[in-house]
Structure formats: C-alpha cells, structure tokens
Amino acid sequence: MTNRPTSAARLTLAGTAAATLAATAVLLPGTGAATAAPAQVAHQARAAATLAARLGNRAAGSYYDAASRRLVVDITDASAAPQVRATGAVPKVVHYSTPQLRTAVADLAKQARIAGTAWAIDPRQDKVVVTADPTVTGAKRTRLDAAVEALGGRAVLRHTASPFKLKIAGGDAIWGSSVRCSLGFNVTVNGAPYFLTAGHCGNASSTWSDTQDGSEVGQTVDSQFPGTDYALVQYDDSGSSPASEVDLYDGSTQQITGAADAYVGESVQRSGSTSGLHGGSVTGLDATVNYSEGSVSGLIDTSVCAEAGDSGGALFDGSSAIGLTSGGSGDCSSGGETFFQPVTAALSAEGATIP
C-alpha cells in the first residue's frame, strides 16, 4: 500500500480515486494545428457516440484514436460520411454494424455464460472481443470455442494469463466485518451524505469503518451484485459534509465536480487502497464479465491494473467521476485488465448526485 492517508482524511475524500488527467494538448479532427483541452475531446467524443447511436445499423460505434489524436466513427454505409465529418470526427467504413455486434453479444450471453470469460464490443476492431482466463478448460473451452466460431468474423477470442477475480480482500482502507474495499465517490441523496463503493463489497458487509476494527462510520443501505456492481453506504453522521475529492496518493487530492460516461480510447486513472494510483485507457463499453460469483454486465473495460482491496475505488478523468472498480485479471506488477461499474448508472439508480 502507498502513502495511506489518515483516517480523518479518508472520510473527507470522494474516494480512493486516481489523479487528474494531464492537460496535454490534443489535435482534434478538422482543426488542423489547433489544440483543445481534454474536456473538449470528451465533449466531442460523446457527440460522436450520440451520432453513431442515431445512425443505427449504418454505424458501429465510435472511439478516440490516441495515436492520431482523432475521433473516429465507424460506419457501414459510406453515404453517412458527411454526417460524421459535420461533427468533427473521421468516418471509417467497417463491415459489421452495432446491431449485428449486439446480436453477437446476445448470442454469447445465451451460449457462453461461463465463469472465467468476458466480452465487450471493441469499435476499433469492429468485433466483439471475447476473453477467456486460464480456468476455462476442457468442456468449458470446447463450448466457448464453438460459441465464438458460430459468430464468424463478428468475434475474436483472446486469452488472459491470470483468472478474473473480484478485487476484494481483508486488510486496509474501508473496513467491513470481514473484508476491506476502497471508497469510490462521496455523494448526496436528498441532501444527506453517502458514498458509493462496489456491490460485491456491500454484499459482504452491512457496516463500514475507516480503520481495521475501528468505530463504525457508515451502513450499507443498498447493494447490487451480481447483474451490476455498486453499493450505497450512508454516513452515520447525517450532519457531515464529506468533500467531493479523490486521493492521489501523493499527499494531494483532485476535486470531482460531476459524473460522465466513458468512451473508448479515453485516458483514465484509478486509485485504490492497495495499489495506489494507476492509469490506462478505456478499451470497451457495455462489457460482460462472468465471475465465479456471478455475471455482471454494462461494465467499462480498461487497460488499468488493480489488486485485491482496490474494489470500489474510483475511476475518473480529470474532475469527472467515471467508474467504480469491480474486478479483472492481472496485477500492478505484471499489468492487468480491470472492469468498472459506470458511476452514471449507479447515481441514476440511487437518486444520488455528486456534491
């Protein structure tokens, strides 16, 4: 664990979240030598995603290409290219539409919901990327191979070196009766103070402390897992006003002013009570992970690492809350893949707001 803040500081944080996205200039499509802040890139990326959704079977998603510093919208009909260019994005003609790829996802949900597997649509490849961990062997592997093969070119199978696991452990950070997790974001519900963490954490404990065997600071009032993965914890002190900040694990904090949906190619960062601060990018949306404890859908797939105890910790981009750490494979020594519960979905379901 890195530079753990004091317990008093822990309760003023918006989570064990990550550092601000560096405000490096980026070239936007159609701007020539002009530059824009990451917030503008995010705005245009979401506008491109809205257009892709509106185009229906004439499109197949959108993403930010960090290498060329351009936003891309996949289209299956070249006549849609002018509409794409009008948003400032670059059109790319691909074979499979969003509805076709979503049908592939639905088929996988029926035929291959096997513990140790995951899948998400990757617009950069115009495919559903299916992942199997080392536990998928024998009859399970045969079943998965058949399901992927039946999808033809709509899907590709890859393998991860370590099993998919929920990032929960006994130890540090926010402590439950027999587990520890990481606080995500401080929120309010009808003016009262709460915080968000992972649902599998909320399932594991009804009360929480900021120190091991310490005094109770909050109670789990709602917990959703499997299916989704978020929990709402109410602070015992109804008069407290926890700050909307995140711990950067270097003695400083980052203010969080709101929540936003992720987009493929987005640079994000995460921090948790075990591994501290780490970054990466969004590689897929609406991902499904089949943990041994149950399946979760609608997740954000990323190249960010995480370790046991980081569950519930916050994923964010600058001042925007993005996700809550769910689980994944690998670690922060060898690298890994981590899935996150979208914060916007949790806020909507709970009637909560970022302070």
- Residue 42's pLDDT is 84
Residue with tokens 């530079």: 3
200 is catalytic: yes
Per-residue pLDDT, 168 = 56
- DSSP β-bridge partners for residue 197: 231
Distance of CA 346 to the CA centre of its chain: 12
8 A C-beta contact, residue 194 and residue 164: no
Q: What is the number of other CB atoms lying within 10 angstroms of the CB of residue 8?
A: 8
From the CB of residue 333, how many other CB atoms can be counted at a distance below 10 Å? 9
pLDDT at position 6: 33
| 194, 199, 200, 204 alpha-carbon torsion, rounded to 10° | 40
Q: For the chain, which ranges sit under pLDDT 70?
A: 1-37, 168-172
Structure tokens at 284: 């897929």
Closest CA to 306 of 279, 333, 282, 275: 275
Largest CA distance in the chain: 64
- What pLDDT sits at residue 169? 47
Torsion from C-alpha of 258, 262, 267, 268, nearest 10 degrees? 60
For residue 226, whether the previous peptide bond is cis, meaning omega lies within 30 degrees of 0, is: yes
259, 354 contact by CB (below 8 A): yes
Q: Which of 97, 244, 273, 311 is catalytic?
A: 311
Instruction: Determine the Cα–Cα distance for residues 200 and 167; give it in Å rounded to an integer.
Output: 9
CB contact at 8 A, 167 and 339: no
Q: What is the Rg, in whole angstroms, of the alpha carbon atoms belonging to the chain?
A: 20
43 noted as active-site residue: no
This prediction has a pTM of 0.86
Q: Which 8-state DSSP code applies to residue 251? A: S
Residue entry with tokens 């001042």: 319
Question: Could you give the dihedral angle defined by the CA atoms of residues 31, 35, 39 and 43, in that order, rounded to the nearest 10 degrees?
Answer: 0
What pLDDT does 37 receive? Answer: 60
241-266 per-residue burial string, b: 16 or more CB within 10 A, e: under 16:
ebebbbbbbeeebbebeebbbbbbbb
In the block, tokens 């401080």 appear at 186
CA triple 209-213-215, angle to 5 deg: 45
Question: Do residues 204 and 170 touch, judged by C-beta distance below 8 A?
Answer: no
* 8 A C-beta contact, residue 324 and residue 316: no
> Which listed residue (229, 247, 261, 301) is catalytic?
229
CATH class of the domain whose range is 7-21+166-350 = mainly beta
Using the 8-state DSSP alphabet, how is residue 22 labeled?
P
Q: Which among 122, 200, 223, 320 is annotated as catalytic?
A: 200
Backbone φ and ψ of 111, nearest 5°: -100, -20
What the block records as the tokens of 312 is: 């519930």
User: In this predicted structure, what is the pLDDT of residue 47?
Assistant: 87
Q: Which 8-state DSSP code applies to residue 123? A: T
Segments making up each domain of the chain, as ranges: 7-21+166-350, 26-93
Which residue in 347, 203, 322, 222 sits closest to 263, CA to CA? 322
Q: Give me the pLDDT at residue 12, please.
A: 33
pLDDT of residue 355: 79
